[in-house]
Structure 1
Amino acid sequence: MINKKVLAIILGGGQGTRLFPLTEKRSKPAVSIAGKYRLVDIPISNCIHCDIKRMFVLTQFNSASLNRHIKNTYVFSSFSDAFVDILAAEQTPDNKTWYQGTADAVRQSMYHLLNHEFEYALILSGDQLYKMDFNEMLDEHIEKGADISIATLPVKPKEATQFGILKTNEESFISSFIEKPSLDKLPGWESEVSEEMKNEDRQYLASMGIYIFNKQLLIDILSDPDTIDFGKEIIPQSIGKHNVLAYQYEGYWTDIGNVPAFFEANISLTDDIPQFDLFSKNSSVLTRPRILPPTKMSGTTIHKSMIAEGCIINAKEIKRSVIGIRSRIGKDTVIKNTYMIGSNSYQEVEELEHNKKEGVPSLGVGENCYINNTIIDKDACIGDNVHIEGGEHLEDVEHDSYIIREGVVVIKSRSVIPDGFRIS
């Protein structure tokens, strides 16, 4: 079935500079997660599980990889109204500018959106990690007669300083808003939350950047070309003018805003019971089906790790790491606390032998390496006897083949790291 009342609009994000170099050649929603998915798979999967199967993805920066992934992944029946379509920023005779912000992106796409019947617009971010039943949020929106609904997450005082904080009345409608308040300004901004959240000292409601708008109101609001962003302008300006409801979500949610957050989100998937569960039958993450062989391993001790399909692993040890598709790891190598994104293709045996003879690193990680606290981006070539020890002892730096952010070493996509290279 398809929920004909709702049209989903997934925002492809801006330049994603804080996630550089992972966004050097791809948009944030196209960044790999868990070794086999893309970030955009998260909101799309949430929508599909809620029978919201009409989706537009609005893109602008480095969108080729994202476009290719969506085209190859989300193919519905020809006899169905379901679709996931890309709306790339475009210049028209009436508009010569690119998207200026989140609201401006929806405004510029409105002509295409209005070609479809809908009563409610569900506006989502393409770079967050969470699972949510949007139908529950929609039911509450309709039941309480809201004009706008905002998904909110109860957070602790220290976390509240990093978000826009919403104050609600007894009926969960939002009465006021403050952007990233300092700790001394937080008293009085508590909202009514569940007992479980109170016991965890999570009494401040942070906006998650997930919105439901009534169709006509969205059209009316976006008729003002001076408002270009939902979070900074439209939402604060709507409070007190329209019925703006806070929908409380108490599950796992993280905004993949920078390299450390991205690193932690992936590594935490290796926990015994991770907060973001990839193994749920009813809310699985959907992605592109690949025809890959099973992963092959020899002589490897594995602790709390995830290994995607199509890998060839001869490592000595892999611990608390995520190993992506088509990864190759050589003998006597130790991988710890590392996200290895994998490769787009395999190298033939003849090429591997030629590279070894010439002393040229092949795709993947070579022999007798030690790698810790590292992200290895796609198609990187790491030679033999390489030692990379990430951690807080390292200063932030940027080189042609790698960067360091808050102790996390990121080996850039397609970089070649020579034999004997060290970061420690």
Structure 2
Amino acid sequence: MNSKKVLSIILGGGQGSRLYPLTESRSKPAVPIAGKYRLVDIPISNCINSEIKRIYVLTQFNSASLNRHIKNTYHFSFFSSAFVDVLAAEQTIQSQSWFQGTADAVRQSMHHFLRNDFEYALILSGDQLYQMDYRLMLEEHISKGAEISIATIPVNAKDATSFGILKANSENVITSFIEKPDAELLPDWTSEVSDEMKGENRNYLASMGIYIFNRQLLVDLMSNPDTNDFGKEIIPGAIHDHKTLSYQFEGYWTDIGNIDSFFEANLGLTDNIPKFNLYDTDQRVYTNARILPTSKISGTVLDKAVIAEGCIIQAAKIETSVIGIRSRIGKESTVINTYMMGCDYYESLEEINRKKTPILMGIGERCFIKNTIIDKNCRIGDDVRINGGPHLKDKETDQYVIKDGIVVIKKHAVLPKGYTI
């Protein structure tokens, strides 16, 4: 399979309101994950590992930090045709409006794509956590003469109502598709899955939002200005007229749609054998190669802690937590079930000594922090107590948001000494 025939299009998503406040000042693909990466690094890394190196990222909200990250991270040889380009929504003579959905984003950007020589368009989502070799899906697409392929994953009945669910015949050709079916319709939508999946009651095939289109078919489908979304309109309309293949994937995959799934995915990285393997040399996750010092830890009990580089930690205890780059945690503090994103820069000794700010960046001394996401560049004073959990009602203040019991400290927030949530 010649991956030079493939152009990759990563959909950056809309406003990302379900991930608010993490998307208050950045687009969804730019949200930091796993202490040192950004969400967009996942599909880009999957592409690079699959030898697909012509990549567009489509976005329209708060795209400055995403632009900066991609510009600083993905450099290819001067003599290579490889690139990662961000396309933000733009006004043209043909279109004066924002992207109205996934298909509309592709339609409005088609003039950029068609400048490239490609036979297949690989369309990906910018907010999913998984590792996948797209070449296997492409080989299947080509060998079976498909016009469209959809990556699918078996899900259980509880999750099935949140996805596009499809049925395929013995040749894996999709015969029917329903977007987010009601629970009472599910008995008619079970599919043939592996014994392992049956054992987990994952009997429904969900679309992963990963598509391959033949070039000409994509051009034809995009010529209809009345269709705005792949899942709701393009796919259900196309399966009866065009050979559409289901490519079943059974590895780890999670859709980072809301704060709850984002929190769970990050803390899942602290498992002894995490489902998402950042240590796989064949499926590396690439990101900005920062030149940071090693992390320094004094007197801290660590249990299931993932700690990025450049941290200075004197905490009493860190448990089941992900600590991001350049994090500082003071003496006698306890951090449990927390994702701390870290900082974009260090405060200089001069600034610290001048006491320009009475509260330093990071977590102060004698703090207790549990069930919390701490966004970048936060200042948490000494003796602060944050005890997240289901006992807390949803709430928003200038400094933090509580969603489903998870406390999210906003970017650049300052919590004074002795503050309690």
Q: TM-score, with normalisation over the residues of structure 1?
A: 0.98
Aligned length: 421
Match of 2:392 among 366, 391, 394: 394
Report the Cα distance in structure 2 between the residues aligned to 1:49 and 1:126, rounded to whole angstroms. Answer: 16
Report the Cα distance in structure 2 between the residues aligned to 1:2 and 1:312, rounded to whole angstroms. Answer: 47
Report the Cα distance in structure 2 between the residues aligned to 1:351 and 1:389, rounded to whole angstroms. Answer: 31
Report the Cα distance in structure 2 between the residues aligned to 1:249 and 1:410, rounded to whole angstroms. Answer: 33
- Equivalent position of 2:359 in the other structure: 361
Map 1:224-303 to 2 at 5 A. 224-303=224-303
Map 1:335-374 to 2 at 5 A. 335-355=335-355, 360-374=358-372
- Equivalent position of 1:215 in the other structure: 215
- Equivalent position of 1:121 in the other structure: 121
Query: How much has 1:188 moved relative to structure 2?
Result: 2.2
Query: How much has 1:316 moved relative to structure 2?
Result: 0.6
- Equivalent position of 1:53 in the other structure: 53
What do residues 318-361 of structure 1 show as CA deviations (whole Å, max 9, x unaligned)?
Answer: 00000000000000000000000000111122322443xx8821
- Equivalent position of 2:88 in the other structure: 88
- Equivalent position of 1:326 in the other structure: 326
- Equivalent position of 1:416 in the other structure: 414
Report the Cα distance in structure 1 between the residues aligned to 2:387 and 2:322, rounded to whole angstroms. Answer: 17
Report the Cα distance in structure 2 between the residues aligned to 1:176 and 1:406, rounded to whole angstroms. Answer: 35
- Equivalent position of 1:406 in the other structure: 404
Query: How much has 1:98 moved relative to structure 2?
Result: 1.7
- Equivalent position of 2:107 in the other structure: 107
Question: Which moves more between the two structures, 237-246 or 378-387?
Answer: 237-246
- Equivalent position of 2:143 in the other structure: 143
| Contact kept in structure 1, 2:127 and 2:256, CA below 8 Å | yes
Report the Cα distance in structure 2 between the residues aligned to 1:25 and 1:215, rounded to whole angstroms. Answer: 35
Mark the runs of 5 or more structure 2 residues left unpaired by the alignment. none
Question: Which moves more between the two structures, 386-395 or 166-175?
Answer: 166-175
Report the Cα distance in structure 1 between the residues aligned to 2:105 and 2:201, rounded to whole angstroms. Answer: 36
* 2:294 counterpart letter in structure 1: P
Mark the runs of 5 or more structure 1 residues left unpaired by the alignment. none
2:189 aligned counterpart, secondary structure: coil
Query: How much has 1:181 moved relative to structure 2?
Result: 1.9
Map 1:4-43 to 2 at 5 A. 4-43=4-43
- Equivalent position of 1:154 in the other structure: 154
Query: How much has 1:122 moved relative to structure 2?
Result: 0.0
Report the Cα distance in structure 2 between the residues aligned to 1:218 and 1:109, rounded to whole angstroms. Answer: 12
| Contact kept in structure 2, 1:43 and 1:125, CA below 8 Å | yes
Report the Cα distance in structure 1 between the residues aligned to 2:357 and 2:89, rounded to whole angstroms. Answer: 45
| Contact kept in structure 2, 1:90 and 1:98, CA below 8 Å | yes
What do residues 367-413 of structure 1 show as CA deviations (whole Å, max 9, x unaligned)?
Answer: 00000000000000000000000000000000000000001000000
**Would the alpha carbon gap of residues 39 and 2 (structure 1) be closer, same or farther in structure 2, given more than 3 Å must change?**
farther
Query: How much has 1:217 moved relative to structure 2?
Result: 0.2
**Would the alpha carbon gap of residues 226 and 2 (structure 1) be closer, same or farther in structure 2, given more than 3 Å must change?**
same
- Equivalent position of 1:73 in the other structure: 73
1:154 aligned counterpart, secondary structure: strand
Query: How much has 1:101 moved relative to structure 2?
Result: 1.0
Report the Cα distance in structure 1 between the residues aligned to 2:112 and 2:243, rounded to whole angstroms. Answer: 27
Q: Percent identity?
A: 65
Question: Which moves more between the two structures, 178-187 or 245-254?
Answer: 178-187
- Equivalent position of 1:171 in the other structure: 171
Q: TM-score, with normalisation over the residues of structure 2?
A: 0.98
CA RMSD in angstroms, aligned pairs only: 1.2
